[in-house]
Amino acid sequence: IIIHQQVELLEAILGTETSSKYEIKNRLGQRVYFAVEENDCFDRNLCSPIRSFTIRIADNTGREVIRVKRPLRCNSCWFPCFLQELEVQSPPGTVAGYVVQNWDPFLPKFTIQNESKEDVLKIVGPCATCGCFDDVDFEVKSLNEMSTIGKISKYWSGFVNNVFTNTANFGIQVPVDLDVRIKAVMIGACFLIDLMFFENSLDGL
């Protein structure tokens, strides 16, 4: 799965934070979904990387198929009791699973949970997420973190794009036979990683 964040002209010119919009494509580059972030101007510009949001994901007919909900929470290791948590619904109104940030003093870590909040997979990121002229990989691992079964990658999108906008390109690689509901949760995890680590325009240098 390829997730391409659309460039916002107002954001590029004025430096103001606008609602994120994403195209979700298959491996052939064909658009299969379109995602739009919903929140208010206060959240976007004051709380930017930790802002609350609802992302609605629709298919090419305009029918909403996935909903991602994130409350306002901390992402600092100094507040381990109030770390990030994100809920994914598919179809909207039916919980598919959760993405929960895990406390770690050195590495970004998350747990993928099913609809019953049972742990399914782990995501482990690199110590440095700046991605200086290179891709940044967050590995999808088994619960014991001994084996890697996939990854979420933030692709290097060029010097100008990284300096002047917050737009990003991501790839999600997971096993073909992974539960379709967990695949939907992985899309939510990708959005969370984008906002937590790559939201600021100077990230990625």
pLDDT digit string (tens) for 165-195?
A: 456 789 999 999 999 999 999 999 999 998 8
Q: What is the pLDDT of residue 2?
A: 93
The sign one gets for the Cα dihedral 162, 4, 34, 93 is: negative
Q: What is the pLDDT of residues 82-98, one digit of tens each?
A: 688 999 999 999 999 99
The lowest-confidence range among 20-24, 56-60, 144-148 is 20-24
Tokens of 185: 């949760």
In this prediction the pTM is: 0.83
